[in-house]
């Protein structure tokens, strides 16, 4: 299975909004509403930020939102804060009953 | 509260077997959640290794399937990973996670670094 495609890096200034894309195929992202997004700070375990495309776990800021169109899912962070600087990974369920991650996107808050 | 803790050797010799255990507390493995293993080579991204249900049903990454066994021990509330014939490419931080509906990891262990070297 091939990794989902994410941009290597994105950046934004405090207060701005950014969007990270996650492109797969009709066998994963496009075929199921089981896309998750994780935030990972250096030497920390990943933290679930969005599940099932657009749902936020309890305790996650409403500045984080998710969506999907066709084979591409997106994570949007509004009102950027310094603490949002981290690596972000998408994942999707696949038609083979497996999971696949994206390559990761490094978010820099300028 | 929910906690997961990985344990196992931090150093494994090439061609040998990597064995890790994930001890779960704060919920019962038999309560309907899946257990997952994910790894992250130094400086690289996340790679899904495999998933197990309390019934013993397993789902493996096709690229690792021939070398991989994931098992569950409901009496000890833990699940385990065995990866045979390891090489330097298997050097990574290994995480275990609780998976909801087998698709999203809502709780993760802190991760354990396993280095494959002679």
The region, left, alpha or beta by phi > 0 then psi within -120 to 50, assigned to residue B79 is beta
Residue of A nearest to B64 (CA): A1
Q: Which of A40, A45, A98 sits opposite B109 (nearest CB)?
A: A45
Q: Which two tokens mark B25?
A: 């507390």
Which of B46, B50, B109, B112 should be substituted to probe chain A, the one whose Cβ sees the most A Cβ atoms within 10 Å?
Answer: B46
When pLDDT is averaged across residues A52-70 and rounded to a whole number, the result is 96
Q: What is the pLDDT of residue B101?
A: 84
Residue of B nearest to A57 (CA): B106
The count of other CB atoms within 10 Å of the CB of residue B3 is 13
> ∠ CA A25-B47-A45 to the nearest 5 degrees?
120
Q: A2-16: b or e for each residue (b if 16 or more CB lie within 10 Å)? A: ebbbbbeebebeeee
Contact A47, A40 (CB under 8 A): yes
How many Å apart are CA A93 and CA B103, to the nearest integer? 6
Contact A31, A24 (CB under 8 A): no
Which of A35, A36, A45, A104 should be substituted to probe chain B, the one whose Cβ sees the most B Cβ atoms within 10 Å?
Answer: A45
Q: What is the pLDDT of residue B96?
A: 98
Task: Give the gap in angstroms from C-alpha B94 to the nearest C-alpha of chain A.
Answer: 10
Q: What is the pLDDT of residue B102?
A: 81
Distances (CA, A) of B111 to A31, A48, B79, B84: 31, 15, 15, 20
Q: Which of A46, A101, A103 sits opposite B108 (nearest CB)?
A: A46
The yes-or-no verdict on residue A85 having pLDDT over 80 is: yes
The SS3 call for residue B16 is coil
Identify the bridge partners of residue B25 per DSSP, sorted by sequence position: B3
Determine, for residues B104 and A45 on separate chains, whether the beta-carbon distance falls below 8 Å.
no
Percent of chain B with pLDDT over 70: 100
Q: What is the mean pLDDT of chain A?
A: 96
Q: Where are the beta strands (DSSP E) in B54-111?
A: 58-60, 68-73, 78-83, 92-100, 104-108
How does pLDDT run across B10-67, given as a tens digit for each residue?
999 999 999 999 999 999 998 889 999 999 999 999 999 999 998 889 999 999 999 9
Residue of A nearest to B50 (CA): A98
Beta pairing, strands B92-100 & B112-116? antiparallel
The yes-or-no verdict on residue A1 having pLDDT over 80 is: no
Sign of the CA dihedral A99, A24, B109, A48? negative
How many Å apart are CA B107 and CA A48, to the nearest integer? 8
């Amino acid at each position: 299975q091939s990794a989902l495609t994410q941009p290597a890096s994105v950046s934004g200034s405090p207060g701005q909004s950014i969007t990270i894309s996650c492109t797969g195929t009709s066998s994963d992202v496009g075929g199921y509403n089981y896309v998750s997004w994780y935030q990972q700070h250096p030497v920390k375990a990943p933290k679930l930020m969005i599940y099932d495309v657009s749902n936020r776990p309890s305790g996650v800021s409403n500045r984080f939102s998710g969506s999907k169109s066709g084979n591409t899912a997106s994570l949007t962070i509004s009102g950027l804060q310094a603490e949002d600087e981290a690596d972000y990974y998408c994942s999707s369920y696949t038609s083979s009953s497996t999971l696949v991650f994206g390559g990761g996107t490094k978010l820099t808050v300028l | 509260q929910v906690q997961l803790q990985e344990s196992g050797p931090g150093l494994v010799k090439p061609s040998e077997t990597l064995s890790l255990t994930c001890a779960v507390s704060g919920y019962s493995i038999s309560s309907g959640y899946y257990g997952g293993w994910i790894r992250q080579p130094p400086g690289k991204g996340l790679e899904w290794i495999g998933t197990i249900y309390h019934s013993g049903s397993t789902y493996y990454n096709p690229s690792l399937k021939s070398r991989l066994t994931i098992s569950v021990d409901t009496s000890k509330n833990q699940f385990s990973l065995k990866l045979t014939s390891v090489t330097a490419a298997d050097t990574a931080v290994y995480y275990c996670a609780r998976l909801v509906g087998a698709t999203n990891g809502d709780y993760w262990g802190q991760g354990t670094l396993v280095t494959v070297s002679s």
